């Protein structure tokens, strides 16, 4: 058929004849009933599934399901649910601040709503529109910006672990440290043990063996402290002497560090004599 003939056919159509079509069925009529009855008639005549599918124009899977069923179960639609029983509850929840549609659906499902989540969501949106109720949807909630809090570095965490929280100058770092201490009990234990160890060093007294024993017997995951405690046990006599006696090898270590610094400044290009002179001159001023 040509394009011109198609246009002519459209022009011949009368709107009155379209609206007056007598074959229209009510919206609530289940269109499957006719096919189901035809399948049962052909089944009674002994016709095969393949031929029934070809005659009626439906797939074989549907034909097999109709053959097995004695009667056609009603189709579930939005009009067949008992959503009307929960209208007052839904409106009360929609008008209560803090309720989300997901929470309302969970509640009515527990109370006996016989539909699915999609049907519930659709009907709740209709109620929202009819009663002009505005509550933030999931996408609206996602649009709220959450302030970014920069986490503490390991260096700063080690610095603040034994410092009084009120002495931390930066407000964000102070709040972050408080949040960590409130939510991590192991960190509170580490903080207390570090304070005890620092006090023992300052006072040159204390039972270091008891401190180590507490860490080793603890059921908490104090991996860093347990490694440190194991290191102290390797030379516990020297550790006890260092805490008890007033002498220290700090001065010796300082001189060693100074000599290494001077050596690095020479880039390995000079001999021992020049290194000796530089060390002596740096010592005299």
162, 166, 169, 170 alpha-carbon torsion, rounded to 10° = 90
Classify burial at 115, counting beta carbons within 10 Å of its beta carbon; exposed 0-12, middle 13-18, buried 19 or more. Answer: buried
pLDDT of residue 132: 83
3-state secondary structure of 136: coil
> How far is Cα 185 from Cα 163, in angstroms, rounded to an integer?
17
Measured CA to CA in angstroms, residue 165 lies from 23, 176, 180, 186, 270 at distances of 82, 10, 12, 17, 51
- How crowded is the C-beta side of 234, counted as CA atoms within 13 Å? 6
- Summarised one tens digit per residue, pLDDT across range 13-46 is 344 433 343 343 333 445 688 888 888 899 898 9
Cβ 201 vs Cβ 162: under 8 Å: no
Tell me the per-residue pLDDT of 88-136, one tens digit each, with 9 for 90 and over: 999 888 888 777 888 889 889 888 888 888 888 888 888 888 888 876 6
């Amino acid at each position: 058929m040509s394009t011109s003939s198609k246009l002519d056919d459209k022009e011949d159509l009368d709107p009155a004849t379209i609206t007056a079509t007598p074959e229209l069925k009510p919206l609530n009529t289940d269109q499957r009933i006719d096919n189901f009855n035809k399948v049962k008639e052909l089944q009674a005549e002994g016709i095969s599934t393949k031929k029934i599918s070809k005659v009626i124009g439906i797939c074989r899977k549907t034909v097999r399901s109709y053959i097995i069923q004695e009667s056609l179960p009603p189709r579930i639609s939005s009009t067949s649910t008992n959503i009307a029983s929960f209208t007052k509850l839904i409106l009360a929840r929609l008008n209560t601040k803090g309720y989300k549609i997901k929470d309302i659906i969970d509640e009515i499902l527990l109370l006996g709503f016989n539909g699915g989540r999609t049907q519930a969501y659709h009907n709740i949106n209709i109620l929202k529109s009819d009663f002009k109720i505005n509550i933030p949807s999931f996408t609206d909630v996602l649009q709220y910006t959450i302030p970014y809090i920069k986490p503490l570095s390991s260096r700063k965490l080690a610095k603040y672990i034994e410092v009084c929280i009120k002495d931390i100058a930066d407000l964000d770092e102070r709040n972050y440290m408080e949040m960590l201490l409130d939510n991590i009990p192991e960190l509170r234990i580490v903080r207390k043990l570090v304070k005890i160890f620092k006090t023992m060093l300052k006072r040159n007294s204390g039972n270091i063996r008891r401190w180590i024993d507490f860490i080793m017997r603890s059921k908490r995951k104090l991996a860093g402290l347990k490694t440190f405690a194991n290191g102290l046990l390797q030379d516990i006599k020297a550790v006890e002497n260092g805490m008890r006696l007033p002498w220290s090898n700090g001065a010796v270590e300082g001189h060693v560090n100074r000599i290494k610094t001077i050596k690095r400044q020479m880039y390995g290009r000079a001999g021992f004599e020049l290194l000796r002179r530089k060390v002596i001159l740096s010592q005299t001023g």
